Amino acid sequence: MNTKMKCTVDTNVQYLKGVGPKVAEVFKKLGVETVEDLLTLAPRRYARKSLIKDISPRVQGFQGLRVPGFKGSTVPEFNEEMRVVGRIIQTRTKRTSKGPVFVVKLSDGTGTLDLSFFNYSRKATSNFKWNKLIEVEGVISFWGRNLQIVNPSVTFSPSSKEKFLPIYPLSQWLTHKYIRKVVRTTFANDIEIPETLPSYILKEEKLLPREKAIHYLHFPQKLELAELAHQRLEFEELFWLQVLLALRKKSIRKKGIKFKKGSELARQFFDLLTTETPEFKLTEAQRRVIWEIYEDMESKCKMNRLLQGDVGSGKTVIAILSMLKAVESGYQSALMVPTEVLAEQHYLRLSHYLPKIGVNLGLLIGSLSAQDKRRIKEEINNGEVQIVVGTHALIESGIKFKKLGFIVIDEQHKFGVMQRISIAQKAKSPDILVLTATPIPRSLALTIYGDLDISVIDEMPPNVGEIHTRWVYENKIQEVWEFVRSELKEGRQCYIVYPVIEGSEKLDLKAAREEYERLRKGVFKDYEVGLLHGRLKRKEKARVMEEFSSGKLNILVATTVIEVGLDIPNASCMIIEHAERFGLAQLHQLRGRLRRGKTKSYCIFVSPENLGEIAKERLKAIEKEEDGFKLAEKDLELRGIGEFFGTRQHGLPELKLANLMDTRVLSRARSLAFKIIEDDPRLENPENKIIREVLNRRYQEKLKFLEGG
């Protein structure tokens, strides 16, 4: 640091002593740009010199697997005594032949470890609270593939005279030691660390002042202090997230379009639909949701609604009925979907009905020819097109609507909030309906989409066929193909899904392109087999889709491009190879392509035999469970929120420390933030002055961006 320049929390780290632009680039990879970022770079855990060890090298070392960046020299002996400090990520009881076992899963950021307690007392188990930091000691052994310590000794509030060293997330050649040094010099620079929470909140929530918290975060004398530091900083992150959501919700409430009551067009469309498919009868849930949406549209407030419904619950028809209502009031509607395949499908379906009721439909996707694109742009611009279906091509800057009033975003989980907001900016103050099949538990949904109202379809359409799910090992594949042949003989169609398009040497995976060749020349040589993946040209994709949906193709070999939205009733079975490579939510989505007709459908997951415990649990879970909500909970339990639902998704400030699963802290932060914005929307109360200052200083960009929506 140049001594003449005063270093503040907003200073770029490159100006710190001993850093410079090169190192700053590497820091950036860790999300560290300013001194503030550096100071809140949370250590994953703390090590006591030479005593506390990482979990992961042990597992990997013992299994003889190669771990990138891991040097074999510290591989411990099996049966070694070890000491670990980590967080509790799960607790459960298990029945075994030796009686009940209480199992606590511990994570130290490098790996996980099971603590197994035999002969435990019920009372003792209540001490193992989720997310608590503990220290354990004991002898390492294996339980199946899991690393475990049986009956370890536990320290609940680890403390000691020894120094604790922060272990940071790293990138490239950065080392813990180096980061520690930079942090230490920054502190030595007498940097001012302003408080960001009103003092009454600190008091009420028993939180450390910011400066102290940041100091303890990096230099804890005791682990308890590190714990308190984390608590304070986690709370703060969630609090600011909620303040932004509260402000956003407030701004949305303001103005909006007041659409006309009822809808003749919607009625006409529905009549047409039910004449052609007499068995189509709206479910109770669908009726309720349409009513909720219509009511919102007719009010003078802007609608921002999330429609949650499991795969196949019938969200599309709701989108159509709402878009038609908007058209009736003289506005344009847009339906934005995540893939071109899905856009084409919606377009195809709609073009069967809409012209008959005099509504002009358009398609806008990236791979249109330049000429077609020019024409559709023009029609969107002059208002000729009343409903347009498209991908994110819709948010390109060249697209200008004449009078966009209603937006549907399908399969929200595939878009970020950024895109949600960009499309909203194409209109003055449109009503927005966001559709998602990601079954987020309600409490969590409220928090992540805290600015949206939520409608739920909690009922499947009647007459959907049964679905049978099975999980088999690869060595049964011939039987699987036999089964597929028997389905094909009945005139049904089948999807076969692979995790990758092409194989590679690094990943020993079956790939769509090669398997397609093998299958169509081998077991399925007397059938028509098609191939669909993301790298095909648009025309090719459309042709394959068309051929499969018209029944010309019996089998569709595909990657996850078919994951969302496709709706082909005659396809009664799906084989997913390397099912272990997919997430639970994804498998559930894929399986959702089935059960679209009245026949029984079959979904078969194929995996190799040697799987990790978690992969096995996942496949077991989805084999048994059809309900997307229950699966989502299972998934959260197995993988944690981070992977299930990246923070990137909501486009709000990224959470560095906080865990969205910690619903207690979350709901505290939420109710506080919402109450403050409710009681003092302009933040004029002197007590809240600090909130206004921080908003201006830190979140100005975010605020603009939020108001944009």
**Residues in contact with ligand ADP by the rule CB under 6 A:** 280-283, 286, 309, 311-317, 437, 461, 567, 596
Minimal distance, residue 618 CB to ligand ADP, in Å:
22
DSSP state of 80: -
Site string for Mg ion, 515-554 (x = CB under 5 A): ----------------------------------------
Pair 593, 545: CB distance under 8 Å: no
Nearer to ligand ADP, 218 or 596 (CB): 596
Q: Which does 629 bind (CB under 5 to 8 A by kind): Mg ion, ligand ADP, none?
A: none
158 interacts with, out of Mg ion, ligand ADP, none, CB within 5 to 8 A per kind: none
Q: Which residue is nearest to ligand ADP (CB)?
A: 314
Nearer to Mg ion, 439 or 565 (CB): 565
- Residue 239 CB partners (closer than 8 Å, separation 6+): 197, 201, 669, 672, 673
Sole residue written with tokens 């969205």: 660
Q: What's the closest the beta carbon of residue 487 comes to ligand ADP, in angstroms?
A: 19
The tokens describing 303, both together, are: 């609608």
289 binds, among ligand ADP, Mg ion, none (CB under 5 to 8 A by kind): none
Q: Is the Cβ of residue 263 or residue 286 nearer to ligand ADP in the bound state? A: 286
Assess contact for 57 and 70: CB atoms under 8 A.
yes
CB of 560 to ligand ADP, least distance (A): 16
CB 411 within 8 A of CB 565: yes
Closest of 53, 116, 118 to residue 81, by C-alpha:
53
Instruction: Give the residue from 573, 436, 567 showing the smallest Cα distance to 497.
Output: 573
- Min dist CB 420 to ligand ADP, Å, is 18
Give the residue from 341, 349, 656, 643 showing the smallest Cα distance to 495: 341
- Give the shortest CB-266-to-ligand ADP separation in angstroms: 15
CB of 356 to Mg ion, least distance (A): 22
Q: Which residue lies nearer to ligand ADP by CB, 384 or 567?
A: 567
Taking only Cα atoms into account, the Rg of the chain, rounded to an integer number of angstroms, comes to: 28
Which of ligand ADP, Mg ion, none lies near 361, with the C-beta cut-off 5 to 8 A by kind?
none
Q: Which is nearer to ligand ADP, 243 or 433 (CB)?
A: 433
Amino acid at 6: K
Residue 499 contact partner, candidates ligand ADP, Mg ion, none, CB within 5 to 8 A by sort of partner: none
β-pair partners for 103: 92, 116
Among 350, 414, 389, 419, smallest CA distance to 560 is for 414
- Nearer CB in complex with ligand ADP: 601/647: 601
Closer to ligand ADP at the Cβ: 454 or 655? 454
Burial class (CB in 10 A: 0-12, 13-18, 19+), 250: middle
Site string for Mg ion, 552-591 (x = CB under 5 A): -------------x--------------------------
Phi–psi pair at 281, nearest 5 degrees: -135, 125
Give me 141's structure tokens: 């052994």
CA separation for the pair 363, 386 (Å, rounded): 11
The listed partner (Mg ion, ligand ADP, none) that binds 596, CB under 5 to 8 Å by sort, is ligand ADP
Q: Pull the structure tokens for residue 425.
A: 């900016």
Q: Which is nearer to ligand ADP, 596 or 634 (CB)?
A: 596
Q: Where are the beta strands (DSSP E) in 355-508?
A: 361-364, 387-390, 404-409, 431-436, 453-457, 467-473, 493-497
Nearest residue to the partner Mg ion, using Cβ: 565
| In the complex, least distance from residue 410 CB atom to Mg ion, rounded to whole angstroms | 6
Shortest gap between Cβ of 592 and ligand ADP (angstroms)?
A: 6
Q: Minimum CB separation from ligand ADP for residue 437, in Å?
A: 6
The two tokens of residue 291 are 């009513």
Q: What is the DSSP letter of 110?
A: S
**Alpha carbon separation from 343 to 250, 253, 327, 563, 590 (Å, rounded):** 33, 31, 19, 13, 17
Contact of residue 286 among ligand ADP, Mg ion, none (CB under 5-8 Å per partner type) = ligand ADP
Name which of 43 and 338 has its Cβ closer to ligand ADP. 338
Is the CB of 115 or the CB of 558 nearer to ligand ADP? Answer: 558
Position 546, amino acid:
E
Closer of 438 and 688 to ligand ADP (Cβ): 438
CB of 578 to ligand ADP, least distance (A): 24
Which listed option, Mg ion, ligand ADP, none, makes contact with residue 312 (CB within 5 to 8 Å by class)?
ligand ADP
Shortest separation between residue 339's beta carbon and Mg ion, angstroms? 11
Binding partner at 152 among Mg ion, ligand ADP, none, C-beta below 5 to 8 Å by kind: none
Min CB(566)–Mg ion separation in Å:
9
Q: Least distance from C-beta 588 to ligand ADP, angstroms?
A: 11
Taking the least distance from each CB to ligand ADP, the nearer of 304 and 316 is 316
Angstrom CA distances, 152 to 266, 301, 440, stand at: 65, 58, 36
Which listed option, ligand ADP, Mg ion, none, makes contact with residue 202 (CB within 5 to 8 Å by class)? none
CB 168 within 8 A of CB 176: yes
Of 158 and 565, which has the nearer Cβ to Mg ion? Answer: 565
CA 86 to mean position of chain CA atoms: 25
Cβ within 8 Å of residue 502, ≥6 positions away: 511, 512, 513, 514
Pairing state of beta strands 555-558 and 493-497?
A: parallel
Smallest gap, in angstroms, from Cβ of residue 303 to ligand ADP? 19
Residue number with CB closer to ligand ADP (304 or 308): 308
Site membership for Mg ion, residue 439 (CB under 5 A): no
Helix (H) / strand (E) element for 572: namely strand 571-576
Among Mg ion, ligand ADP, none, partner that 280 touches (CB below 5 to 8 angstroms by kind): ligand ADP
Q: Which does 16 bind (CB under 5 to 8 A by kind): ligand ADP, Mg ion, none?
A: none
Q: CB of 217 within 8 A of CB of 43?
A: yes
* Distance of alpha carbon 169 from alpha carbon 640, whole angstroms: 18
Q: Residue 45 half-sphere exposure, CB side, CA atoms within 13 Å?
A: 24
Say what the alpha-carbon torsion angle 631, 637, 639, 644 is, to the nearest 10 degrees. 50
How many residues form the binding site for Mg ion (CB under 5 A)?
A: 1
Min. distance of Cβ 583 from ligand ADP in angstroms?
A: 18
CA distance 584 to 635: 6
Q: Select from ligand ADP, Mg ion, none the partner in contact with residue 207, using the beta carbon and a kind-dependent cut-off of 5 to 8 Å.
A: none
Structure tokens that stand for 674 in this block: 């919402």
220 binds, among ligand ADP, Mg ion, none (CB under 5 to 8 A by kind): none
Least Å distance, CB 567 to ligand ADP, is 5
Contact, 131 vs 74, CB < 8 A? no
Residue with Cβ nearer ligand ADP (67 or 317): 317
Q: Give 467's strand partners.
A: 601
**Of residues 198 and 565, the one with the C-beta less far from Mg ion:** 565
Residue 302 has a CB neighbour count (10 Å cut-off) of 20
Residue 224 binding partner per list ligand ADP, Mg ion, none, with a CB distance cut-off of 5 to 8 Å that depends on partner kind = none
Residue 312 lies near Mg ion (rule: CB under 5 A)? no
The binding site for Mg ion (CB under 5 A) comprises 565
